[in-house]
Each structure stands twice: as C-alpha cells, then as structure tokens.
Structure 1
C-alpha cells in the first residue's frame, strides 16, 4: 500500500523583510512540537536565505545549492532529504533545509528541479512548510505556491506592505498561474496592540483574501534573530512558541489534525488544547 504523501504549506510575504521567515519557522516549530509529527522546513528564498543565521549557523553543512546535482539528475528521495536536513533535538522534530547560498545562480533553478524537491519533501515529512520569496520572478516561489495545499500570505498593517505588492505579485502574477486571491490565508503581523496602521477590514478589502489570522509578536523576538538564537528563544518558554498559535491552530484545523490531537494519549497535549479552548 502506497503511503499517503505529506502536506505542503507555503508562506510568501507581500513585501520582503517584514517577518515572513520568522512567521513560517515559528509556525513550523510550533506544529512539530505540539503534534509530534515529522515537519520539514524548506528555505526557498533563493536570493536572501537567512534561516541559518537565525539559528546561529554561519556555514551550514548542507544547503539547497548543495542538492542541485541531485535535483538535476532526479535522484533526490525523501530518505535522502531527511538525511541532509538539519534536525537537532532542540528543534523537537523539525527538519530544516537551509537555503541557496549561491545567490548569483538563483535564476538557474528551474520548475522541474523545484518540483522534484517538493515531491521529495512530501515523501519525507508529514508536513512541509516552504518559506518563499515575496517576489514571484523565480521558480521556487511560483512552484511552491502553485503546488501548496495551503497558501499563507504574510503582510503588515502598513499600507505600502499590503496594497501595491499584493496587487502586483500575488494578484497579477499569481492569477496567471491559476491562484486566485481567495486562495490565500492572510497573516497580518500586528506587532503590539494599538501600534497604528490599517485595520483588518481595510486590509481584507484591499487584498481580497477571505480568511486571515493576526499574529502579534514582541519586538524583543527580533533581537533573537540578530543574535542567532531563535531556536533557543522558542524552546526557552512555552509562551514564546505559543505566540504562533494564531497561525498554527487554523492550519491544524485545515489539515484535520486538531481532532486527532484531542484524542491523544499524551496528557500534556490534552491540557494544552483544553487551555486553548477555554481562553477563546
């Protein structure tokens, strides 16, 4: 009997450098921790890979460009991808493939190579979270967004972040590949309460997204990125990782994993879910 392939969730930003990678990684870490499932994280920012720096690794042993010979030859398998991924115990079952280091070769990745990578990821992991570029002028962003089971579009209440770029990239380019605006789940990085900017009503009207989540993170988390301690921060206190529940919980429901967790035999997971339901 053929094993059912894993699911794929793609995170794209409306604009670069607004926190899309942080959102995607934090959500992947949270889901891996709560579910105990095998979760993969693919850094597919072909020209601005930074995940390794957020984890304090200057020179990763294996990166996306290191897989290009196997992607070209079509020999990459799920088993090999798991072996290549960075997966220390502190990541609680999260497997990370670091991104492309050869920025001058970003345009050499073709759709067939990215398709092979995504197929291997579905074979390797129960869930793959792909972090892609805000710009749709590359194979990684287009292919991941096309093939994703769920598409997350990250933005902020800043008008310049959600108006023009969403219309030009996710709106115009995405539509050319059969992805309507209604096919995105919007994640609005709200920062601190009352921090200004436009409200959800205006953002939803402008972007055309049907569903959305609002993610509020403390400004101090950015210090962890600069110092390469994101994983330590996530693991230090439960409330740090729980900050990503605003995105993780809707994803679990979409994946039909939330109901399975309610029947789990692990007492700490049951208590966590009970606490979440009472706090709503």
Structure 2
C-alpha cells in the first residue's frame, strides 16, 4: 500500500505591536506546506498451509513527513522579521504475529513482537540566524516490544506486554503493562465483562517541545521550547464493568487513575512583558 499527500496554506494577519511610545501596525505573511509519504505491506508466512493457526503474519510500514514554514513580518512594507522552519520525521516499523501457541485445551497464547526506528529533525532560523543551540537538531530513537494475549478457558484473558525504548538523548527505558478480563454468562444468558489493568507509561519530549518557537505575536503570545525538559513517566490503573442487566438495559462503568511524574505542559512567564509560555515539567 502506497500513500502520498500534500498540504499548502497561505495566511495573512495584521496586528499592532507596541514599541515605545506607540503601537506599530504590522503584517505577517505565512506560507506552510506539508508532505507525507508512506508505504506498507503485509504477508502471511505459512509453513503449514492447511492449518492457518500455524501461520506467521508479518506487517511493515515506512513513513516520511516534512513540514516547512516561512513567516515574514512587515512594518510599512519593510520586512522586520523572517522566520523559516523545517521539520521532518522518518519512521520504519515492523510487527510479527506468531502462530497460535496451544499449551492445552484451556491455554492459548497469541504472541506479537515488533520494533520501530525513528529520526526527527528540526531547523529554525530568524533573519537567517539559527534560533536553536545549533543550526539544526535531531533525535534518533528505537523501540522493541513483546505482547502475549493469554486465553484461559472460555472466561479468562490476560494481556501482558513490555516495551523498551532507547533515545539518543535520554537513554533506555522499559515500560511493562498487564490487563485482566473475565467474562461471565449468568443463568439468564446475559454477558457480564469485568476488566482491570495496570501499565507504565513513558514519553520523551519531542523536538518541538524542546526547541521550537511557536511565534503567535499577532495573537499576543509565544510558546517557547525548553531544551532542559525531561521525559514524562506514569503509572495508569483502570477497572471496569460492562454487562447486560436486562433485555432493554446495558450498563458500562469505568474507573481510571493516573500517576504522572514530570508532566510536560506550558506555563506562562509572568515576568515577561509579552505573553510567553515555555514548556516545563511539573
């Protein structure tokens, strides 16, 4: 499967910018373009053609995205600020579904293994001078994961997995997860499903959050990247119930609880005259 897309946008905005002792009328011309290319494939590898449960299934995808932005700010038709930005992402991923592993009549395992490699790049200049710590910044990251869907009899299911991520800036991290499901069929033939899960989360700040300048001066604010950001870590808990109470009534109840450390979000800098919001960890 091959896909390609192109997007283009041209915007003109007018605003007043305060330069003591008066406001100056300004105009910003912005030109944005985005391109996306992807290719994917899926193949069944069947050592035993007559038994589909012994089939290996391989899927793979590659993707490349590019974003370009050119923003010129003018005062009385003279360009006072020219900002150019380029962002790109290149990604390749693959997943292998193993044949069904039947240990007994009541124990069936469905196992998946996979991996992903990704490279992000960012460059941004203002008046042809880089606004970054270098002319351009990049990020390389690789991931591996393993998942086991364990079916126990007709009622129980245990889904467990583990994901390892290695980032060139933040090193390695392992995040496990496990969930449990129980299906109950009551005497009236109505289904009742009980679920619970616990899992670790991990998110590395992307290049935009670390370095990019979101300049919306025409709207009265800026959002600034922060190169000192640290990754988010979290533990998530979930419990739920879904059931048929009668022929005309169903009930679904879910509860969630998340513990998050170093959450990444923006925070307004009150010491600045201009509304500037840098990304921070909280």
TM-score when normalising by structure 1: 0.21
Q: Which structure has more strand as a fraction of its residues?
A: 2
RCO (CA 8 Å, sep 6+): is it higher in 1 or 2?
Answer: 1
TM-score (norm 2): 0.21
